[in-house]
Amino acid sequence: MAHLRLLLLLSGPQLLVLWCCPPSAGFLQVEMAGETQTVLLNDNATIICKVQGYHHLDITIMGITWFWKHQVSATEVKLFEFFGDHQMTVRPGASVSLRRLKRGDASLQLPGVQLREAGEYRCEVVITPHKAVGTVQLEVVAYPVSSLFPEQAMVKENEEQLILCMASGFYPTNITVTWKKWTQKDPQYVEFSEDIFTNCTTKNEDGMFNVTSFLMLKPSLEDNMTIYQCVVWHKSLPTSQRLNFTLTMIVPEAERL
């Protein structure tokens, strides 16, 4: 009775806060995959959401709802909902495995993820009468397709040779392109920065980016069989991409004698 009297004395806004606070914060928790999950463009993503402390769930008395909020827009969209015999999917292909849900795995499956689907994902689990909420940022990346032109060349002494290292179709925009060389005098790859120009990244209509790095050579005969290496690093890559160019010098016929 004392509790009822206390509720009646509270003002309207205070009473609203009491009703809005989930009564189950200490009893039901969900585990997400850290603060951020990263997935490759066009891959099938599994956005992790697992109910802690439950080895078997009665899904007839529980529900799961997934929401998505765009990185730029503050608007939140409901992607998937399951309650008892009710199931609703807004995003084509989005699903939660009911078999895994019985074991406490409420992870969301998203096939063929696109760049526009990056943002905040919210997992809301209700096990009557308790409720738990978890959020995670989904980052969508695309790895660069890199090429070197030419891959090898035969050059006369003091003749200029331009080498292009091109990386295309990557996302997000930040990328690092460096150059190294291997010589017979110094048989290890050493980074250098002379006679290199790398242009600004350009954006394609599909939202992906391109960049080209130029290396201008004016070699001497001592540079024969030198290997030049373009190293491309992007956050989508497990290791950097390395592309090699072998320089072959044309020795004048008079010097061969």
Within a domain: 66: yes
Q: Does 201 map to a domain?
A: yes
pLDDT number for residue 11: 33
Whether the Cβ atoms of residue 211 and residue 133 lie closer than 8 Å to each other: no
What pLDDT does residue 56 have? 85
Among 97, 117, 141, the domain boundary falls at 141
pLDDT by residue for the chain (257 residues), tens digit each?
A: 333 332 222 233 332 222 233 333 447 899 998 899 999 999 999 999 999 887 788 898 899 999 999 878 778 999 999 998 889 999 999 999 999 999 999 999 999 999 999 999 999 999 888 899 999 999 999 999 999 999 888 898 888 999 999 999 999 999 999 999 999 888 899 999 999 999 999 999 999 999 999 999 999 888 899 999 999 999 999 999 999 999 999 877 655 55
Residues 63 and 106 in one domain: yes
Residue 10 lies in a domain: no
**pLDDT at residue 197 in the model:** 97
How confident is the model at residue 15, as a pLDDT?
A: 24
pLDDT given at position 55: 75
Asked whether residue 223 is domain-assigned, the answer is yes
Please check whether residue 46 lies inside any domain of the structure: yes
- Do residues 161 and 176 share a domain? yes
Q: 149 and 137, same structural domain? A: no
Whether residue 220 is found in the same domain as residue 150 = yes
Residues of the domain holding 188:
145-250
Domain presence at residue 7: no
Q: How many domains does the chain have?
A: 2
Q: Is the peptide bond preceding residue 129 cis, with omega within 30 degrees of 0?
A: yes
Statement to judge: residues 245 and 192 lie in one domain: yes
User: Are residues 183 and 199 both part of a single domain?
Assistant: yes
pLDDT number for residue 184: 86
Question: pTM for this one?
Answer: 0.79
pLDDT of 233 reads 98
Q: Are residues 214 and 183 in the same domain?
A: yes
- Please check whether residues 137 and 166 belong to one and the same domain: no
Domain-ending residue, one of 141, 167, 195: 141
Q: Are residues 189 and 125 in the same domain?
A: no
As a residue count, the chain comes to 257
Shared domain for 208 and 158, answered yes or no, is yes
209 within a domain of the structure (yes/no): yes
> What CATH number should be reported for the domain holding residue 63?
2.60.40.10
User: Do 110 and 205 reside in the same domain of the chain?
Assistant: no
Which residues, including other chains, have CB under 8 Å from residue 51's CB and lie 6 or more apart?
A: 28, 29, 30, 31, 57, 104, 105, 106, 125, 127, 132
For residue 9, is it within any domain?
Answer: no
Q: Are residues 159 and 229 in the same domain?
A: yes
CA pair distance 148, 214, nearest whole angstrom:
10
Domain closes at, from 79, 106, 141:
141
